[in-house]
Amino acid sequence: MLMALLDGRALTAGELARAAEVSPQSASAHLAKLVEGGLILVHPQGRHRYYRMAGPEVSSVLETLGVIATTRPPRSFVRTPHDAALCFARTCYDHLAGTLAVDLAQRLESDQVLAPAGAGEREYSLGPQGDAWLQRFGVDLLPRRGVLGRRCMDWTERRPHIGGPLGVRLFDRFIDRGWLARKDGTRALRVTDRGVRGFGELGVSIRC
């Protein structure tokens, strides 16, 4: 049920019961515990009670736990076109996540724009082409102190995307350039025609 709420929508108990493939009675019991635990919020409206994630930090923690807590292939979670869109491009708190984000990170590593760094290679440092690439792309050069970017493990792809300060700035730049557009009521993102061309120029093909 938490997985169904990851995209930011508010769903009814019946919808969540179907998503979890449990009875309405079982769903109600679990939802009551999730509300009591502060993970979700409930909003009564008429005859229905709508449930949503308590905040973006809950979604962020859930995605992180999902990397180590599930053993099924990521594609087994894709059941609808909406789920597929969420897996392809979505916000991960304040940066880009999903297949598109992972492909971008891999491309920037192979082009020596970014290099794994830090303990366990959990962070990013600029590679030999990093400064020039950031200048061409119009991203302000980041301070050399502190963490430049994080190799944020993508929950659906099981590979890293770019988080941290650099991830935020890149995401903001994609929005400003009109490459990505937000979808109302969900964390899924739409890649515009301009974005298809733009990401293609970066060596990232749009396969969705």
Residues 28 and 33: their CA atoms lie apart, in Å, by 9
Same domain, 105 and 48: no
Same domain, 40 and 88: no
Same domain, 140 and 38: no
Same domain, 110 and 40: no
The type of residue at 24 is P
Rounded to 5 degrees, what angle do the CA atoms 82, 180, 61 make? Answer: 60
Same domain, 88 and 182: yes
147 belongs to a structural domain: yes
68 belongs to a structural domain: no
Residues 102 and 104: their CA atoms lie apart, in Å, by 5
Contact at 8 Å (CB) between 108 and 162?
A: yes
Same domain, 42 and 136: no
**pLDDT tens for the chain, residues 1 to 208:** 887 787 677 888 988 998 888 898 999 999 999 999 999 999 887 777 889 888 877 877 877 776 565 545 444 455 555 667 778 999 887 899 999 999 999 999 999 999 999 888 889 999 999 999 999 999 986 666 678 899 988 878 878 999 999 999 999 999 999 999 988 878 889 999 999 999 999 999 886 5
Number of domains in the chain: 2
39 belongs to a structural domain: yes
Same domain, 27 and 115: no
pLDDT of residue 166: 94
129 belongs to a structural domain: yes
Same domain, 99 and 19: no
Same domain, 108 and 194: yes
Nearest CA among 34, 43, 38 for reference residue 9: 43
Same domain, 43 and 146: no
Cβ contacts of residue 101 below 8 Å, gap of 6+? 89, 92, 95, 154, 161, 162
Same domain, 149 and 196: yes
Same domain, 104 and 156: yes
Q: Where are the alpha helices (DSSP H) in the chain?
A: 13-20, 24-36, 56-69, 81-88, 99-110, 130-137, 164-176, 193-201
Q: What is the span of the domain harbouring residue 50? A: 11-54
